[in-house]
Amino acid sequence: MSITVRAFKKTEEESSVIDLNNLNFNSVVASKNVTALVDFYAPRCKYSAKLAPHFERAAEMVYDNDDYYDDSSNEQPNIVFAKVNAIKEKQLSEHFGIDSYPTVLCFTNNKIYEYSGPQRASAIVFFARGINDPESNAMKYAMPWTLPKRVRRKVSRRPKLKQYVSANKKRVKLRKLQNVRTTTKPTAETTIKVNANEQQSVIIDSSHEKTACFKD
C-alpha cells in the first residue's frame, strides 16, 4: 500500500490524524523512515476526548512544515499521526497490551515507546520531532514499551507506574491512597496517586497533569 501526501494533508472536512484498523495498521506504521505516533483511545473516555484536539493540532503543526517530509520522496512524510479506536479494534489493542486510554505509542526504528509527556500540542510536536535526534532531550518523554507475552492477560497498571517512578526518581513519588476521587492542584513536587481499586491514576507535577481511563 502506497501512502501519498493526500492522505495526510488536511482539508476542511478531513482530519490530519489517520484512522487505523487491523487492515491498514502495518502498511502505515511499518513504513520505512517513518516515525508513527498512534493514539489508542476509547470513544467514551473523557481523557481521550481531552487529548484528541491537542493530538490533532500537533499533527497539523507537523504537516504544515515541509521540512518533515522525506527528502527522497515528495509523497512520504517522516512523521505520521494516527489513532486507533481501542474498543472497536480489540485485536490491535490486545496485541499491544493497551490497558488504559488514551495511550500514545511511538513506533520508530523498529522500537516502540509510550509518550508520557504533557498532553499539549507543542509538547507532542517536540517529542515527535526530537525522538530520533541525539541532540534533543525528547527521550525524557519516552517510556520503552514491551509487547505482552500473551495476547489475553489481566493487566495491572501498577508495574507501569513503578517503571515511570524508577525512571524519574528525582521528581516523582509513588504512594497509595484510599478512595481517591478528585485530583489536587499541581505542585512543584511530582506525585503519582493510585486509588484502592486501581481504576484511575493521576500524575501531577508543576508542568502537566495526566489522567487516564482504565480497561475493565
| For residue 9, pLDDT beyond 80 | no
Using DSSP's 3-state secondary structure scheme, residue 77 falls into: strand
Encoded amino acid at 163, one letter:
Q
- Give 78 or 157, the one with higher predicted confidence: 78
Question: CATH code at 146?
Answer: 3.40.30.10
Return the higher-pLDDT residue of 43 and 197.
Answer: 43
Rounded to 10 deg, the angle between the 46-63 and 121-130 helix axes is 60
Per the listing, cell 497509595 goes with 176
What does the pLDDT look like over 185-213, one tens digit per residue? 333 333 333 333 333 333 333 344 556 77
Say whether 127 sits in a helix, a strand or coil: helix
The whole-number pLDDT of residue 212 equals 72
Is 212 a domain residue? no
Element (H, E) at 91: helix 90-95
Residue 78 lies in a domain: yes
Q: pTM (2 decimals)?
A: 0.64
**Which three three-digit cell numbers place residue 88?**
472497536
Domain range enclosing 70: 18-152
* 179 pLDDT tier (thresholds 50, 70, 90): very low
C-alpha cell at 132: 530520533
13: in domain: no
Residue 193 is assigned to a structural domain of this protein = no
Rg (CA), the chain: 17
Q: How many domains are there within the chain?
A: 1
pLDDT category at 169 given cuts 50, 70, 90 is low
**Residue 50: partners with Cβ closer than 8 Å, 6 or more residues away:** 119
